[in-house]
Structure 1
């Protein structure tokens, strides 16, 4: 019996960098809940942005934000996995040094961007609908950070992640999170670890009771953790290899079709 469904957003349930989700998902989530199946929205985005996407059902689902850095339910943070201050400093100095790159850090629910990068601030506010806090120096922001996200349209994210891993080794998790996003999260974070924590909270002990959907490198740990896992047809090869199934039809409606099939079981 399926007890938990976890789905990525960008590239899986909606187009990368937009808020455009098929509103049919809200009805499906209500029906899943009525059957005792929990839905979790899992994303590299911050809570504030994900909650806007799922506003009609935000009190009915769990949120895993910042690639596993935050787990929350009904506005309450259940888990926060912050990056140690010394590691954060080194990562921020690294991303600042990368040519043509912009970056943000993420706290409990919001993004922090250095005010000098106004083009990036605009992109986050208008595309991802993030609540962006403009600061002079993210290292002096008033809270601990769960993620550093580097954005560079001139470097493929997977290649950028591999290059950063050569510098940091096992001090921090580094992953591609979109075509041009490279995310840095605490070693105890990540979507797979967060899914494990959520299962423990819900009393789910069998992998076969969990379904996951994803499309990118940052979804691999989650897809591996679930008993039934699906990669969308446009997914990166790493996600397809990690998933048990690859959806044949393109577009987010292919995910909705699987959810409908689960409702009929």
Structure 2
């Protein structure tokens, strides 16, 4: 995949029959997909993940979450210990446990591009407020809602958050979060993509008008593709799961892909299959089917 290529459901490759190409890697989103709505991993899912690893199928968690929010699944990464975080902006080794993760790969958003994108958004959608996600912390503009799982480290205008002499300027920028208090989520996404173009990758995973902006060409799919290439795993050997627009590229790229029963229409259109909702262990159901095919 070229660095600036966007994969859409319209360009999805025909699915190879599962019986002819065994699955070697499972790539699953977390929130709204693997996790129940209460952010827990069910016993059935834990058992399915362990059985997949025991059968020699690698499991990658592929999420918009930052690495420091991965404690909920860090006990289930098994052998390789890796997760793709920040919508593809980082590959993280979670073996050390909570607070001891190690960045294996970082695909940063250049601060000058980040600031340019924020200014384009302000012009296209007045009222937009932003946050900057760096490798080890979240920094907010004044007026940005406190909607995340941790308090901000710094509150300041984006121009200061992204300045060369900013307090955490030595940490790479993984993504920009942009919130609009009044727009509909999908409308905000459309406006942002039109305004930003190929300058950066824009997506969303929240039910609110909250966008996630990564470097050009950086997505769950493109980073998953890099990780699979390192392992000699072809797209046809990957089964992917997701529920929101930030999963579309990954669902399109994988040879087998499943939208959850609770999925956004864009995810449904991109996937080659459907499974049960997250609260009904839809991922575990398919993993069990994949393992049964190998018998």
- Distance of aligned partners of 1:160 and 1:37 in 2 relative to their CA distance in 1, 3 Å threshold: same
2:8 paired residue number:
none
Please show how residues 229-240 of structure 1 align to structure 2 within 5 Å.
229-240=257-268
Out of 133-142 and 156-165, give the one that drifted further. 133-142
Relative to structure 2, which stretch is displaced further, 98-107 or 135-144?
98-107
Measured at CA, do residues 112 and 197 of structure 1 come closer, stay the same or move farther in structure 2, by a change above 3 Å?
A: same
Match of 1:161 in 2: 189
* Residue 48 (structure 1) aligns with: 68
1:151 aligns with 2:179: yes
1:39 corresponds in structure 2 to: 59
TM-score (norm 2): 0.77
CA contact (8 A) 1:110 1:131 kept: no
Q: Distance in 2 between matches of 1:58 and 1:99?
A: 42
Aligned pair 1:9/2:30, yes or no? yes
Q: Give secondary structure in 1 for the equivalent of 2:71.
A: helix
Bigger mean CA deviation after superposition, 166-175 or 137-146: 137-146
TM-score normalised per structure 1 = 0.85
**Are 1:7 and 1:42, in contact at CA under 8 Å, matched by a contact in 2?**
yes
- RMSD (CA atoms): 2.4
- Which residue, out of 56, 59, 76, partners 1:57? 76
Corresponding residue number in structure 2 for 1:81: 107
Whole-angstrom distance in 2 between the partners of 1:13 and 1:103: 28
Specify the SS of the correspondent of 2:46.
Answer: helix
Structure with larger Rg: 2
Shift of 1:117: 4.6
Residue pair 2:120, 2:195 contacting (<8 A) in 1 also: no
Output aligned runs, 1:1-265, within 5 Å: 1-15=22-36, 19-49=39-69, 51-58=70-77, 60=79, 61-73=81-93, 74=95, 75-94=101-120, 101-114=128-141, 116-117=142-143, 119-120=145-146, 123-125=147-149, 130=150, 132-136=152-156, 137-139=160-162, 140=166, 141-142=168-169, 143-152=171-180, 154-180=182-208, 181-204=210-233, 206-248=234-276, 251-265=279-293
What secondary structure does 2:188 align onto?
Answer: helix
- Higher RCO (CA-CA < 8 Å; seq separation 6+): 2
* Runs of 5+ unmatched residues, structure 1: none
State which drifts further: 248-257 or 59-68: 248-257
Segments of structure 2 that go 5 or more residues without pairing to the other structure are: 1-21, 96-100
Alpha-carbon offset, residue 254 of structure 1: 1.6
Secondary structure of residue in 1 paired with 2:109: coil
Deviation at 1:24, TM superposition (A): 3.6
Query: Using the alignment, how far apart are the partners of 1:174 and 1:119 within structure 2?
Result: 20
The 8 Å contact of residues 215 and 232 in structure 1, kept in 2 or not, is answered as yes
Check conservation: 2:121, 2:192, Cα contact below 8 A: no
CA distance in structure 2 between the aligned counterparts of 1:30 and 1:105, rounded to whole angstroms:
35
After superposing the two structures, state which structure 1 stretch, 35-44 or 57-66, moved more.
57-66
Contact 2:45-2:283 at 8 Å conserved across structures: no
